[in-house]
Chain A
Amino acid sequence: MKHYLYFPLIVFLLLNPRGQLLAQNEGTSNPGVVSGNVSVIVQQYNDDAKIGAVAPPQNIAMNAFSNILYRKGKFNGGIRIESYNPSLLGYPVGYNGTGIGYFFGTFSTDRLSVTAGTFYEQFGSGMVLRTYEENNLGIDNSIVGVRVKYNAGKGIYLKGVYGKQRFKFDSKIIQGPGIVRGFDTEWQINDAFNSMADNRTRFVVGGSFVSKYQDDKNPVLYVPENVGSAAGRFSLFSSWISFSTEYVYKINDPSADNNYIYKNGQALLFNVNIFKKGFGLALAAKSTDNMTFRSDRNQSLTYLLINYNPALTKVHTYVLISTLYPYGTNILGEVAFQADLTYKFAKNTALGGKYGTSIAINYALALAPEREYLNDLETNRVGYTTHLFAASDSLLYSDLSIELAKKFNKKFKAKLTYFNLAFNADANQVTESHGMIYSNAVVFEGVYKFNRKNSLRFELQGLFTKDDRGNWTALVLEYNISPHWFFALIDQYNIGNPIESERVHYLYGTVGYIRKTTRISLAYGRQREGIFCVGGVCRAVPASNGVNLTITSSF
C-alpha cells in the first residue's frame, strides 16, 4: 500500500531533481510540465447526545487525494492517489484504504486524441452518458478503458468510449461488472458550409448510441444482456435567443430500480433562453420515465450510473434553504419545469441608483408522472404505461425565490431573498416526517467593506414552517482580511421545534488562511444532520460534533 504512495514521489523526483522543470532554457529540450493538487480533510468526532451525533470507533476520519499530472508535447497523463482511513461519516459505503483511483495517458494531435485509463465524458446533456467525479459527495463513475476523439473537419466531431466503470474503491479501483460502449457525433452545421460561416445564427445537431453488456445471472428472469440507448439533440444559438432539445430512448432494461420490469425508458428535455444586455430568461422543461441506466442492473443509489438526469431546480446557497429541504431528481421519472429570470436595472435610473440594482426570480416545479399500472408482474412484466409530459397531480417539489440585490455605495451592498418551498417528504426521504412540508423563508445578506482589505459579510436567515421540525433561524458572520485570512461563525437554531428539548443551537466556527492556491481552514462545532447536494445529487450527512482541518492546494 505504501508503495503506491511513494511511487509518484520517486517518479517526480527522478523527473525533477532540482525543481528545474520550469526553466525552459533555449537550446535544451523541454522536459515537460508537472502539476497537481492536493486535498486533505481530517475530521475529529465527539459524541453529542443532544444532536444525535455518535463518534465512530476510530474517533478521527480522513478523506484525501492528490492529482499529479504531466504533460509534454502531444502527451499528457496523470494519476490520482486517494486515501480514506476511514472515510468521513456519511460518505458512501465503498471508500477504503489508500491507492490509485485515477490514471490515464492521452496522446493528441490536431485532430485525434486517444486516452487510455480512467476518464470522464459526457454526451449531449448527459441523459444518455455522463461519467463524472464529485469528491464532496463520493461519486466517481469514471470509465476505465479507452476513449477516442476525432475532429473530422467541416464541423464534424466524433467520440467513442469503451470500458468498465469505477464502482468502489478499496486501495484501488473496484470495477463494476458491466461493459459500457458508446459513440457520439456532433455536427456544427455552420462550419460545413462557407455560406453560413459568418451567420450569427448557429445550428448544432448531435446523436449518441450507448450500450452496456452484463451477463444474465438472474435465477428467475431472462433479462437482456445487451441494453442499448440512443439519443438525438439539436441546438440553435442566435444573438438574443437560444434553443436546445434532446430526446433519449432506452430499450427494456429490467433492474433493481424499476423492480425488473421489461419496459422501455425515455426522456425529453427542452431549454429556451432569451436575453439581451441586462436581461436573461431561462426556461426549461423535462420529462423522464424509467431512464436509470447502470452498468450493473442490480445496483442502486449513485453506484454505476451511466447517465445523468438533471434536476430542473435552482441550486440554493444559503445554509437553511440548501440543506433542510433540497430537491434531488426523482430518477424513476418526473415531469419538471423551470423559469429563471435575471434583470439588472440600469445605473443612474430611479430603481438602478448609482451602482445598479438587480432582481432574480426563479420558479421550479416537479410532478410525479401519470402512470397506468398493468398489474402484469406475473405475466409480461411491462409494469405500466405512460406518456411524455403526462403529469399527475402529485407534487414532488415546488420552489419560488425572489432575490433583490443592491449596491448602496462603495462600502455597502445587500441582498434580500424570499423563498416559498413545497417539499414532498415521502418522495424525498430527508427527515422522519411524512407528507408535504410547506415553508417560507427570508434571507437578508449584507457585505460591508471597511477599507481595501477588511470586510464583513453577514446573513440573517429565517425558515418558517408548521410542518416537520418547525421554524429555524440562522446567523452567519464572516470577517475577511484580504487576501489571507477569514473568520466565520455560523449559528443554526431550531427555534420552533415542537419538542422543546430539541430546540438546539448548531454553532460552528472556522478560521482560514489562504495563500495563492493554498487554503487551510480549521473549524470546530456542531454540524446538523442534513442533506448535502451537488448538482441535484444528494447525500445524507449525519449530525457531528468535532474539529475539522481542511487543506487544499494546487501547484
Chain B
Amino acid sequence: MKKIFLVTAVFLLFNLTVFGQQKGNTLPNVELKTLDGQNVYTSEISNDGKPIVISFWATWCAPCKRELNNINDVYEDWVDETGVKVIAVSIDDSRQVYKVAPYVQGQAWEFDVLLDTNGDFKRAMNVNNVPFTILLDGNGKVVYEHNNYAEGDEDELYDLILGLVE
C-alpha cells in the first residue's frame, strides 16, 4: 500500500515539476510516411507562418473520427479565416494502415494525412492515447496540447487559433 502511494506521488511530482516542457518548443524531428508512400520529416512541416494543428488519430478510434469529421465540416471556414492547416497523423499499425487512405477519401477529408505506423512521432510527442491534438503557432512552436475529445472541443481549439492570428 505504502509503496503504491509513494510511487504514485513520485510520478505525480514528476509531472508537476516539469509541466509544460514540450510547450514553447518546435517539434522533434521524426520520419513519417505520406499516403503515397513517401518519407517525410516532421521538421519539414510548415505553413508559411500560419498556425498548424496536428491531430493524432486512428481508424479504430471513434472519438478521433468524430473530432476530425467535425473539423472537416468547418475546415473551409477555418482556412478562409485564419489560414490554419490541419494535419491528421494516423497511428494505425500495420494491420490497419492500409485502411487509412480509403477512409480519408471516403469521408472526403480536406486535410493532409501522415502515417506514423511505427509510433515514432507518437512516442516523441509523449502521446498516451488518442485523440491527441497539438496546436503550433506560426513559428512552429507548440502552444497547446489536448488529450481527449468531446463535442465542442473544436470550438475551444478554434478560439485558440484565432488568438494566434489576431
Contact = CB atoms under 8 A, between A and B. Distances in A.
A83 interface: yes
B93 A535 contact: yes
A121 B24 CA distance: 29
Given A125-B94, A132-B93, A19 B17 contact: yes
Interface in A299-330: 308, 310-312, 315, 317
Interface in A142-164: 157
A315 B106 contact: no
Contact of B22 (A33, A120, A453): A33
A6 to B, nearest CB: 8
Interface stretch (A174-182, A249-257, A270-278): A270-278
A167 B78 CA distance: 48
A516 B14 contact: no
Interface string A262-284: 00000000010111111111101
Contact of B127 (A16, A19, A512, A554): A554
Contacts of A237: 35-37
B25 interface: yes
B21 A36 contact: yes
A480 B13 contact: no
Overall SS of chain A's interface: strand
Interface stretch (A65-73, A223-231, A288-296, A491-499): A65-73
B111 interface: no
Nearest to A36: B126
A553 B15 contact: yes
B66 to A, nearest CB: 7
B105 A278 contact: yes
Interface in A1-43: 5-6, 8-9, 12-13, 16, 19, 21-22, 24, 33-40, 42
A206 to B, nearest CB: 10
Given A98-B7, A552-B129, A310 B94 contact: yes
B9 to A, nearest CB: 10
Most B-side CB within 10 Å, residue of A242, A271, A279, A555: A555
Contacts of A452: 152, 155
B2 to A, nearest CB: 10
Given A483-B150, A519-B148, A5 B10 contact: yes
Contacts of B1: 60
Interface string B61-96: 110001000000100000000000000000001111
Contacts of B10: 5-6, 9
Given A38-B14, A514-B150, 19 more contacts: A5-B7, A9-B17, A12-B17, A35-B21, A38-B15, A39-B128, A83-B11, A98-B7, A120-B123, A237-B35, A237-B36, A317-B60, A343-B106, A449-B152, A480-B152, A482-B156, A483-B146, A517-B145, A518-B15
6 contacts: A9-B17, A21-B21, A66-B14, A121-B118, A483-B152, A517-B146
Q: Give the top 5 A-B pairs by smallest Cβ distance, nearest first.
A: A342-B106, A280-B102, A280-B106, A482-B152, A480-B150
